Amino acid sequence: MVITLQQELIMNSDKTIDGRGVSVHIAHGAGITVQFVHNIIIHGIRIHHIVSKEGGGVIRDSVDHYGLRTVSDGDGISIFGASKVWVDHVSLDHCTDGLIDAIMASTAITISNCKFNHHNDVMLLGASNSFHGDMIMQVTIAFNCFGKGLVQRMPACRWGFFHVVNDYNKWEMYAIGGSMNPTIISQGNCFRAPDNVHAKEVTHRDHFHRNVRKHWRWRTVNDLFLNGAFFVPSGDHSNIAQELKRHMVQAKDGAAVGLLTRFAGVLRCRHDRPC
Lowest mean pLDDT among 66-75, 115-124, 252-261: 66-75
How far is 161 from 187, CA to CA, in rounded Å? 13
Confidence band of 273 (pLDDT split at 50, 70, 90): confident
How far is 92 from 123, CA to CA, in rounded Å? 11
Mark out the alpha helices in the chain (DSSP H runs): 210-213, 240-245, 257-260
What residue ranges define each of the domains in the chain, with the CATH number in brackets? 83-260 (2.160.20.10)
Contact assessment for residue 42 and residue 36, using Cβ atoms and an 8 Å cutoff? no
What confidence score (pLDDT) does residue 250 get?
A: 67
**Whole-number percent of the chain with pLDDT over 90:** 71
pLDDT digits (tens, 9 = 90+) for 92-124: 999 999 999 999 999 999 999 999 999 999 999
* Catalytic residue check, 60: no
How far is 243 from 249, CA to CA, in rounded Å? 12
Contact assessment for residue 169 and residue 202, using Cβ atoms and an 8 Å cutoff? no
Task: Pick 188 or 272 by higher pLDDT.
Answer: 188
Q: Could you tell me which of 244, 254, 114 has the C-alpha nearest to residue 185?
A: 244
For residue 86, the surrounding DSSP H or E stretch is strand 83-88
Contact assessment for residue 107 and residue 138, using Cβ atoms and an 8 Å cutoff? yes
Would the pTM count as exceeding 0.85? yes
Phi and psi, residue 59, nearest 5°: -130, 135
What confidence score (pLDDT) does residue 243 get?
A: 64
Residue type, 176: I
Position 255 pLDDT exceeds 70: yes
pLDDT digits (tens, 9 = 90+) for 33-58: 999 999 999 999 999 999 986 666 77
Confidence band of 209 (pLDDT split at 50, 70, 90): confident
What confidence score (pLDDT) does residue 76 get?
A: 97
pLDDT digits (tens, 9 = 90+) for 5-16: 988 899 999 999
SS3 state at 42: strand
* Annotated catalytic residue, options 46, 69, 153, 217: 153
What confidence score (pLDDT) does residue 246 get?
A: 63
